Structure 1
């Protein structure tokens, strides 16, 4: 805090500026009191000296203000100069008004206390020593001029003792202030760390979290709540913009112990389970709202069940494959022996169709069991997609063009074989349901929030609302001959490659979009 390398804070300079402002106002008030000549010495010389002293103090206060504004010279130097100036001014004023008997010496005490508190206890005893020497010098001058006797030193001595007492008290108070300031600073750091920790926890929790006040206005929310609700959220807005949530909160405020119904969001096609926790004893006050994604809970429960059935299905698939091959071979032999027998031809065709279907299902189950065997490599999407789409069109015998929109720098890390399998499934499903016209299928790659995203769009009808919650479940299909494993396996493969496959709801008559969101670190550094 002194000029020895410890730079004073802005609060120190503000305190010094206030102290100087007080000095300036005191000098102006003193100068205004010149009209009352009865207070002054009877001679004209005393009056002229008083005017000069007051004007000098005003000018010095202005100069001090300029120094404080420019922050030069150093803080401690300015404070000491101002304290010594105050002492000289008050002692000179005492001399003009009759010395120690004027009673003005007591004014030194608040100035010394203020200087000690501003300097945080430094130089306080030095200022008290200067004041004591000035008082004793004034008394010696009065004695030399014959205006005081040798027995008049008792009062100045007491005043000197008072100066040191006030200086010591200011020093102690400044010490307490420093300790309190250090404690407050540490508490501030702790609170800031705690706030950052709470914010981090709030953002990382899997549930959406919102804080709603007593007036049903949104005060705080995390990114997960924004993603689940899928509408713009702004602190301070009324939750009336979310009518389903507002109605559920209204019902809960009336009866906090009643079970809370699930929320079905129209725009986001999500099912949420709200949980309301009052932040005080009154449910009508501020409320903490937790939003649980029921789709995520279903997926987690499904993963637990499938993990237990994984080995069983793989073993069954292996066991089924051998007799299935024998049945298929026997069906082919029967077909050769059928000749012109129409009934035998029909029966062998039924056997062949169902064995091929079972073979495809067994293959999918075995492929699902091998989903964790990942060989992730850098894939430049532009040329890879061009070659893939051309092979897909030739294999599926598609005559119309499939639009590809891909930036040149789009590079991800993915198992090429897995990416081929996932994208083939998405394009084949899209071609099955689209209008099969020019530009019915579009593959586009965009960069959003540090993630490369691959969108597969078709102009077919949207997925039925009642099928959305089961869209990625195994063995769920709307086709009579489908296995119901295509989308489920595709999503599992994406998860194994640190990516996410999702269905993106579109506006009416805008078609269907499936999206692969690649991991944040799955590629080159984004700009």
Structure 2
């Protein structure tokens, strides 16, 4: 959480340490460091006067040359550890070959130090088996065994010494294989444990980022305050409900004095004031709630700011849902007797002996039956939310077909309805049935209310793009008196109407259907008089203006 909403909160998976095909860990560094120590021992045995007294050099030139070259190789390996990690298996294999060769040449130059050099070779073979696959570890164990045994065969000592050296070489070979097997098992378990820890760490990092995003995007404001009333963290909703304070203002008493007073009252009396309050000018009222971060710790307190406007909207949605279900059941009960009344009135109107006054009464009955039927249909639509089945529509062709169908189904009289299309294709993703109901409702309203006194209505249905790369829209435009701004702010609310016979559900249902198709419906005033209801639709995935 951050008090500055400009801080990016994009969820990025935690980076996994690169493992590649071989071990990319600090073990390689310690392996190379041991190799430097091993080379230093060879240097000491080859060049030290004291060592020469204890361990005579049979081949001084070979021993000293081997020690120097091996030390240079060990230092190069240590310096290039980071480069080696990119090709770990190959680098370790080359290093082990150099270790075995250096050990073999050192034993040849210093035969009396054979046991010590062979013992140091156990560490090299074990480290290789720890970092390499099993077959590679066994290969280098066999290579070291052959090197020690080969020197024993070619040494040509006395028979008794040869038998003893052969036994020692065989024991060293057994030690090489045993150490390689044990270190491979240990390395395998170590790698599995490390991989499991990496996966758990990755999951925890992703979970932490998801939690942070959820808290930041919560509509409820969340603040973390310490015992000195200093704000440590807040999400975006809290930042907005506090009046968007600067990032350097962290004192709660300065940012929101009333909230600080209520926090002090809660801390001293453990009672919460449930009345709503606006914490800054121009922001919605909130109801603060307080809770301790830990059960026995009063130093840090979490403050939740519940936006009362959100609560009101949720209550309104629940009320509408309940009202819709209740009204639907009542509408079903009304529809049957209403159909009987209308049918009887139509039969009565066909009577030739009916006086003119009675015919007028029958006409009134039919008109009001039709109006009641429209009300029932709106109520049933309020309770029945059909799922959207979007299709890719050519809005140019759709608008032309719609206007033709509307003219065939309705007698326009002196009113006019025409379609305006574009020379280029205008495609959108929408449910054609929902779009038909929405535009039909808008056109009916435009023909009914969008006219100047004593003049015919002129209504246009336009299909176009907002701009060259903008989303597709359908606009229903009339040249009537327009809608006052105060009324326009409420026309999409349920049950709001300015007509004595209206239900206030037509535009509300139209907006709900648009939202079900990921579209928006808005009122746009027309310059020079008139009204425009604009439906902004979603373009297909491959169309200009489609979201990435």
Shorter-chain TM-score category?
0.5 to 0.7
- Verify: 1:410 aligned to 2:427, yes or no: yes
Structure 1 position 86, deviation (Å) = 0.8
User: Is residue 84–residue 91 contact of structure 2 (8 Å, CA) maintained in 1?
Assistant: no
> Which residue pairs with 1:304 in the alignment?
322
> Which residue pairs with 2:9 in the alignment?
none
User: Is residue 41–residue 97 contact of structure 1 (8 Å, CA) maintained in 2?
Assistant: no
CA distance in 2, matches of 1:273, 1:331: 67
Structure 1 position 117, deviation (Å) = 0.8
For residue 33 of structure 2, the aligned residue among 16, 19, 22 is: 22
Structure 1 stretch displaced more, 42-51 or 140-149: 140-149
CA distance in 1, matches of 2:97, 2:465: 72
User: Is residue 269–residue 505 contact of structure 1 (8 Å, CA) maintained in 2?
Assistant: no
User: Is residue 99–residue 139 contact of structure 1 (8 Å, CA) maintained in 2?
Assistant: no
> Which residue pairs with 1:344 in the alignment?
none
Structure 1 stretch displaced more, 419-428 or 398-407: 398-407
> Which residue pairs with 2:506 in the alignment?
486
User: Is residue 378–residue 414 contact of structure 1 (8 Å, CA) maintained in 2?
Assistant: no
> 3-state SS of the aligned residue for 2:493?
coil
Given the superposition, is the C-alpha separation of residues 420 and 441 from structure 1 closer, same or farther in structure 2, using an over 3 Å criterion? closer
> 3-state SS of the aligned residue for 2:23?
helix
Higher RCO (C-alpha under 8 Å, 6+ residues apart):
2
CA RMSD across the alignment: 6.7
> 3-state SS of the aligned residue for 2:272?
coil
> 3-state SS of the aligned residue for 1:144?
coil
User: Is residue 256–residue 280 contact of structure 2 (8 Å, CA) maintained in 1?
Assistant: no
Q: Which runs of 5+ in 1 are unaligned?
A: 1-7, 337-347
Given the superposition, is the C-alpha separation of residues 263 and 144 from structure 1 closer, same or farther in structure 2, using an over 3 Å criterion? farther
Q: 1:397-439 CA distances to partner (integer Å, 9 max, x unpaired)? A: 7899999889732344323752442222564688479xx9xx9
> Which residue pairs with 2:4 in the alignment?
none
CA distance in 2, matches of 1:381, 1:71: 60
User: Is residue 460–residue 477 contact of structure 2 (8 Å, CA) maintained in 1?
Assistant: yes
> Which residue pairs with 2:378 in the alignment?
368
CA distance in 1, matches of 2:523, 2:292: 35
Given the superposition, is the C-alpha separation of residues 113 and 261 from structure 1 closer, same or farther in structure 2, using an over 3 Å criterion? farther
> 3-state SS of the aligned residue for 2:504?
coil
Structure 1 position 305, deviation (Å) = 1.9
> Which residue pairs with 1:380 in the alignment?
394
For residue 440 of structure 2, the aligned residue among 421, 439, 447 is: 421
Given the superposition, is the C-alpha separation of residues 137 and 385 from structure 1 closer, same or farther in structure 2, using an over 3 Å criterion? closer
CA distance in 1, matches of 2:313, 2:423: 31
> Which residue pairs with 2:190 in the alignment?
177
Q: How does 1:49-128 map to 2 (within 5 A)?
A: 49-57=62-70, 79-94=92-107, 96=109, 99-100=112-113, 103-128=116-141
> Which residue pairs with 1:345 in the alignment?
none
> Which residue pairs with 1:9 in the alignment?
20
Q: 1:92-143 CA distances to partner (integer Å, 9 max, x unpaired)? A: 3355456238845442232222111111544445434444454455567777
Q: How does 1:250-399 map to 2 (within 5 A)?
A: 255=266, 258=272, 281=295, 284=300, 294-316=312-334, 319=337, 322=341, 333=357, 358=368, 361-368=371-378, 371=381, 380-382=394-396, 384-385=398-399
CA distance in 2, matches of 1:101, 1:164: 19
Aligned length: 473
For residue 462 of structure 1, the aligned residue among 454, 463, 485 is: 485
When normalised by structure 1's length, the TM-score is 0.59
CA distance in 2, matches of 1:400, 1:146: 119
CA distance in 2, matches of 1:441, 1:247: 55
CA distance in 1, matches of 2:412, 2:278: 42
Given the superposition, is the C-alpha separation of residues 335 and 141 from structure 1 closer, same or farther in structure 2, using an over 3 Å criterion? closer
